[in-house]
Structure 1
């Protein structure tokens, strides 16, 4: 039993809960659903995660097939232990007020090493990037809803939009006035 599942492993288990599939298909679906924006998706990392899930008894091989000259594809299916582990990990993440260590608070906290002009320029670029990302997420979300994807399947995107809505405030940070300390 794994101590902790990675976000990529949880996404893979969630897709295998839909049906058995091979890792390449998992990667394609993660990209098609925009989840590659939420997890670090690298093919070698995905294959490593699949190997670990199999080793830990969370998934198993359900078949091996070959189409034409293509290489063999191993298809995996989710086991009950895998579904249970995925659900436990999701609960842990949902309960934690801060499951990971985002870098933005550190960057903002140490921005005093830069000139004010540099900070303002970089934060303006960040605001523009956030606006572009927000627009792209909104387009993806609307397209998915138009295709009949249930809203509950898009809650991660909804969360991303809320997070992005909070981002412009970062650009309006004002320098904290230092307090003189008395003797």
Structure 2
């Protein structure tokens, strides 16, 4: 179990949280969910506890004591070890230096855009663009508020990156919609041979 848990992409996020301060797994889960909708979708309590156990077993985190809040049960607080700090730096350096092809659900769906037909594709892409613009506007507002409140830019650099990705996606969506309208992106005609089952 530890090796598989240590391969989980959330290990980096957990090590990063422990770099900021010691925490118990429930705090980590709450903080990950607060910071990112991507983490919220990808993590559950069970997998987080498996990751924390694996970090402890690998010597990258260590139990620092128990904490009790109100009438809640005691929770074990973990801290980053020097070996965990080295592993965090190693992973960060590697992931920043080495671009990887990341497969998103949207990329998977775009692979089959043709199945929607020109009208369906235009409609779906238009709605995605509208939703993405709304989300991006809200994200830009939150980023501006954080910076105005004195949060160092380095602490929100990932929000800048996410906004840049969203802008690039919107540019692409608008271009594809335009290509559909102008006929630059064509669909196979009705005369194409039907696929055999």
Matches within 5 A, 1:31-50: 31-32=33-34, 34=35, 36-39=36-39, 40-50=42-52
The corresponding residue for 2:150 is: 148
Structure 1, unmatched stretches of 5+, are 179-183
TM norm structure 1: 0.84
Separation in structure 2 between the aligned mates of residue 143 and residue 29 of structure 1, nearest angstrom = 19
User: In structure 2, the residue corresponding to 1:167 is in which secondary structure?
Assistant: helix
The corresponding residue for 1:108 is: 110
| Number of aligned residues | 176
User: In structure 1, the residue corresponding to 2:100 is in which secondary structure?
Assistant: coil
Deviations 1:53-102 (A, max 9, x none): 11221101000122342111100000111111111111222122225222
Higher helix share: 2
Q: CA deviation at 1:113?
A: 1.9
Separation in structure 2 between the aligned mates of residue 99 and residue 79 of structure 1, nearest angstrom = 31
Separation in structure 2 between the aligned mates of residue 117 and residue 19 of structure 1, nearest angstrom = 51
The corresponding residue for 1:170 is: 173
Of residues 54, 58, 61 in structure 1, which corresponds to 2:60? 58
Separation in structure 1 between the aligned mates of residue 138 and residue 13 of structure 2, nearest angstrom = 21
Deviations 1:88-137 (A, max 9, x none): 11122212222522233332232112211111111011101111221121
* Higher relative contact order (CA closer than 8 Å, sequence separation 6+): 1
1:9 lines up with 2:7 in the alignment: no
Structure 2, unmatched stretches of 5+, are 180-184, 189-197
Tell which structure's C-alpha radius of gyration is larger.
Answer: 2
The corresponding residue for 1:181 is: none
The corresponding residue for 2:95 is: 93
Separation in structure 2 between the aligned mates of residue 95 and residue 18 of structure 1, nearest angstrom = 23
The corresponding residue for 2:131 is: 129
After TM superposition, the runs of 4+ consecutive aligned structure 1 residues lying more than 6 A away are none
Deviations 1:122-176 (A, max 9, x none): 1011101111221121122122223321100111000001001011222431315
Q: CA deviation at 1:29?
A: 2.7
Name whichever of 94-103 and 1-10 sits farther off. 1-10
Instruction: Check whether the contact 2:64–2:78 (CA below 8 A) recurs between aligned residues.
Output: yes
